């Protein structure tokens, strides 16, 4: 009976609220970033949006923060990717101003692409060497003075909560910019909206922020070990691994 009630709630109440909240968020970012500072307007409307969507979905969120994290330090946050709600979780509960490193294809999305551009997110251009160099320049100029980024190095969502192998792009970026890496464990989000399903479930989700890992002095030869270590740290925060 509870599943039926929640299913009705999902389509009659939650989905309309999600649409309205997303329109409000994108328009606020566009207008605010046009008239003011996109460091503020490109971030705080997203925080409200992320928390509102999680609350509207009746999710139970538990955040385990780390006192070693410094608001004035830029980081590369590296998280496992469990589901579609990871985006809302990051916006609502990361607790650090950040910019996405986004695929070029997202630039063409109605409202979202324009809002992302106005917010100062970096669109990654890998179509040519010139594009790669320009992307690195924009990334270097953006990720400073406490501005961070968030990356899902698996590149895709998990169907069962278990982690896949990590791609090396996020780690290469951290090494290139000499930024600390912060492993983040997302646990439970895969239950909210399973892959290939349109039926939601009001699950409990935890976010665990692990100790930052300095990258100064680490070379490309150390990259495989760094990736393996971060993978192990994130995996340690999953209930199934306990």
Q: In sequence order, what are the residues at sequence separation of 6 or more whose Cβ sits closer than 8 angstroms to the Cβ of residue 203? A: 59, 60, 188, 189, 191, 192
Vertex 44 angle, CA 39 and 50, to 5°: 135
Tokens 């928390």 identify what position? 51
Position 16 pLDDT exceeds 50: yes
pLDDT per residue as tens digits for the range 65-123: 999 999 999 999 999 999 999 999 999 999 999 999 998 888 888 889 999 999 999 99
pLDDT of residue 241: 45
Q: How many CB atoms lie within 10 A of CB 165?
A: 11
What is the pTM for the complete model shown?
0.95
The token pair at 103 is 């695929």
Query: DSSP E strands: which ranges in 11-164?
Result: 60-64, 76-79, 101-103, 122-124, 149-151
- Bridge partners (DSSP) of residue 76 are 149, 181
The token pair at 36 is 């003011």
pLDDT per residue as tens digits for the range 173-215: 999 999 999 999 999 999 999 988 999 999 999 999 999 999 9
Q: Which domains does the chain have, with CATH numbers?
A: 2-241 (3.40.1130)
- Bridge partners (DSSP) of residue 209 are 184
- Bridge partners (DSSP) of residue 62 are 206
Q: Are 181 and 223 in contact (CB under 8 A)?
A: no
DSSP code of residue 167: P
pLDDT of residue 103: 86
Max distance between CA atoms of the chain, in angstroms, equals 57
Burial 56-93 (b: 16+ CB within 10 A, else e): bbebebeeeeeeebeeeebbbbbbbbbbebbbbbbbbb
Position 126 pLDDT exceeds 90: no
208: region left, alpha or beta (phi > 0 left; psi from -120 to 50 alpha)? beta
pLDDT per residue as tens digits for the range 165-184: 999 999 999 999 999 999 99
């Amino acid at each position: 009976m509870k599943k039926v009630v929640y299913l009705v709630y999902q389509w009659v109440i939650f989905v309309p609220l999600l649409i309205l909240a997303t329109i409000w968020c994108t328009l606020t970012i566009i207008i605010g970033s046009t008239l003011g500072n996109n460091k503020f307007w490109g971030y705080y409307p997203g925080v409200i949006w992320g928390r509102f969507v999680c609350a509207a979905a009746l999710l139970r969120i538990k955040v385990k923060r780390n006192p070693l994290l410094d608001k004035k330090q830029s980081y590369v946050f590296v998280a496992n990717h469990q589901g579609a709600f990871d985006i809302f979780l990051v916006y609502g509960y990361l607790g650090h101003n950040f910019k996405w490193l986004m695929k070029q294809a997202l630039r063409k999305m109605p409202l979202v692409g324009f809002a992302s551009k106005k917010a100062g997110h970096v669109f990654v251009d890998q179509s040519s060497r010139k594009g790669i160099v320009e992307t690195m320049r924009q990334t270097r100029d953006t990720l400073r003075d406490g501005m961070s980024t968030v990356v899902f190095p698996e590149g895709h969502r998990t169907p069962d909560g278990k982690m896949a192998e990590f791609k090396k792009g996020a780690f290469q970026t951290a090494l290139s910019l000499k930024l600390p890496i912060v492993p983040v464990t997302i646990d439970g989000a895969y239950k909210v909206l399973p892959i290939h399903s349109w039926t939601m479930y009001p699950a409990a989700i935890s976010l665990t922020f692990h100790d930052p890992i300095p990258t100064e002095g680490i070379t490309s030869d150390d990259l495989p070990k760094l990736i393996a270590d971060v993978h192990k740290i994130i995996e340690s925060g999953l209930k199934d691994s306990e």
